[in-house]
Amino acid sequence: MIEIKVPEEEAISLLNEQVQQEIISRKKIGQLHPEDSIETINFTLLLEIIETAIFDIIVLLPVTLITEKSNLPKIVTTSVKGFLRSNKRFGAKNFSEQNAKILLKKVQSLFSGASSSTSFQQN
């Protein structure tokens, strides 16, 4: 098992930045109103935005951290709960480690095809 060591505050900060970027992007394409913010959007939509932000962060990690067994689900869960607490959005119980594992499986499925590809072995 790969043990990823990242301070909780750093993980929350990274998630916060990515969520802010996702909100800005959604405002630009008209999915959110200009006055919408983390505090005002409904919780279900906020969770969707958080999941998109997590996905964006995870795909930038080295593939081995994504495909091998690691403590990434725990880091994601802790980050989401900390993010929700720091933004005074109560409902952290709605995001569990199981949610993080499901999200990670989506990302892993993207990389599983690439790792099993033999196309470059023929060159």
Predicted model pTM: 0.84
Q: pLDDT higher for 40 or 111?
A: 40
pLDDT in tens, 75-112: 999 999 999 999 988 877 778 899 999 999 988 888 77
> How many CA atoms lie less than 13 Å away from 28 in the CB half-sphere?
6
The residue among 74, 53, 61 whose CA lies nearest residue 108 is 61
The predicted structure's pLDDT at residue 65: 86
* Across 7-19, average pLDDT: 96
